Structure 1
Amino acid sequence: MAKKVYLLLLSLLIILTGCTSPKADSGNQVELTISAAASMTDSLLELKEGFEHQYPNIKINYNFGGSGTLRKQIEQGAPIDIFFSASEQDYKLLDEAGFIKKGQAILQNHLVLIQPVNGELTSINDLLDSNGKIALGTPDAVPAGTYGKQSLENLGIWGDVQERLVYTKDVRQVLTFVKERSVDAGIVYVSDTLGEDHIEVVERIDDSTHDPIKYYFGIIDGNKHDDAKKKATENFYHFIFRDESMELFKKYGFDRVGD
């Protein structure tokens, strides 16, 4: 009789253990929300696959957009864990306001003039002889627009093309407008053009005509009492600096700062 009672209790213990184990596993799940410049969309989506494979208990959620817009969201209290900025100014504004726990410039990029396939432009100077529309990220919110405006000003053609500019919310929208032939040209990063159909690069814009295009990676100073999230954030931070990750970014047209 005692043996039967023992076996019954043992069976119940096994059943109860099996029922509670999934909750224990789910309790280890951590979600990170990462705000990133829209020009990093493709590279970061691929990087996410490798990271979540190595850390199956960490789920990455991305919030892509113009760096200026993303910075304002963080300033207004958006629950962001990590920020990838294509703008040094937006990164420094957050850093000076105490939002950045740690970070640094990690990647660099270059501007190009693009047009629909079989377009008529052969160089950026051809914009002077054209009446076509030009898509450009809004300079106050989109770093590519800021750099593009600097180049057009330094090349002496800003005044001639200003009335023909179509401002966009990010570089992805510039690509869309060019692909749809809603505009005759656009200014984006070289990384945006890789693997894209229905567009062609007219010319790489001289780097000396604009400020250096550097991408900054920073951990947002939040979640001070959440040890699991802090550890997950550190894991992602170190994952970014692996040689394999840097090779992935290179595949998408970025250079490591210093290269």
Structure 2
Amino acid sequence: MPTRRHFVTGLAAAALLLPAAVDAAPARPPLTVFAAASLTDALQVVAKAYTARTGQPVRFSFESSGTAARQIAAGARADLFVSADSRWMDDLAGRNLLAARRDLLGGRLALVARAGSNIRLRLQPGAPLATALGPDGRLAVGDPRSVPAGRYAQAALTRLGLWSTVEQRLAPAQDVRAALAYVARGAAPLGIVYESDAYADRAVRLVSLFPAASHPPIVYPVAVLRGASAGASDFYRFLSSGPARAIFARYRFRPLG
């Protein structure tokens, strides 16, 4: 049977534990970020740096900007959105779903081949792109109907006079990373992705960069969504911090602002 001494001892032990419980900061709930598939590698590294500083986890849904924007418009729960172009961000702005927005990154459009390929091609008007694909090869691109990289690709090929030569030989993908995977696996001899994607997979190599004037500027806007969780604005600001900018530059993005 417990004695009075045991009871007092138990109270003292509890009192020793009390300050630690009171002082312990409550765990911050994770942030949810919907982002363009091309940002998969860079954003995850940036998020680790942010979590190390703040203790707040960040979880991602990476897919095509169009798919992500449609999900947000349909009511999917997210705190921030990072798009690969302004069109889908403008769509959400028109629905009054953004609390804050700015342009975060710039990029370049690239033609890639499998690492072991000997294809050489300079992207310019009249370039023999269709010939480089071979008799049966297809050109991997993000689906131009919903994927920003696909729309940039169509614009660039049209400007260079090459769209009509390959329009019927496309391998459209659900997002730019899927197009990259087609090339990496050998399912397509060539693909059009972002420069950052070209360095994300050792199974592919950069063949050529598209002339910057051949397509609209590649801009990645970021936004805090209305009703975002606490900490969303902190991560929004961190994305433009010195440490984050250095990470993005390492992954071949061009920090803006």
- TM-score, length basis structure 2: 0.88
Query: Which structure has the highest helix share of the two?
Result: 1
**1:208 and 2:209 aligned:** no
Q: How does 1:131-142 map to 2 (within 5 A)?
A: 131=135, 132-142=137-147
Q: State which of 174, 178, 193 in structure 2 corresponds to 1:188.
A: 193
* SS across alignment from 1:159: helix
Take 1:209 and 1:39, find their aligned partners in 2: how far apart are those partners?
20
**1:144 and 2:146 aligned:** no
Aligned residues: 248
Match of 2:108 in 1: 110
Aligned AA for 1:97?
R
Match of 1:10 in 2: 11
CA distances 1:103-162 after superposition (whole Å, capped 9, x unpaired): 111110000111112232423422132432100001121110010011111111111101
Match of 1:54 in 2: 53
For the 8 Å contact 1:65–1:170, the answer to whether it is kept is yes
Mind listing any 5+ residue stretches in structure 1 that lack a counterpart? Answer: 224-228
Match of 1:94 in 2: 92
Give the % identical residues: 28
Aligned AA for 2:107?
N
Take 1:200 and 1:12, find their aligned partners in 2: how far apart are those partners?
63
For the 8 Å contact 2:121–2:129, the answer to whether it is kept is no
Mind listing any 5+ residue stretches in structure 2 that lack a counterpart? Answer: none
Of 77-86 and 248-257, deviating more is 248-257
- TM-score, length basis structure 1: 0.88
For the 8 Å contact 1:121–1:127, the answer to whether it is kept is no
**How far did residue 21 of structure 1 move?**
3.6
Take 1:61 and 1:8, find their aligned partners in 2: how far apart are those partners?
45
* SS across alignment from 1:35: strand
**How far did residue 54 of structure 1 move?**
0.8
For the 8 Å contact 1:34–1:60, the answer to whether it is kept is yes
Q: How does 1:213-228 map to 2 (within 5 A)?
A: 213-223=218-228
Aligned AA for 1:212?
P
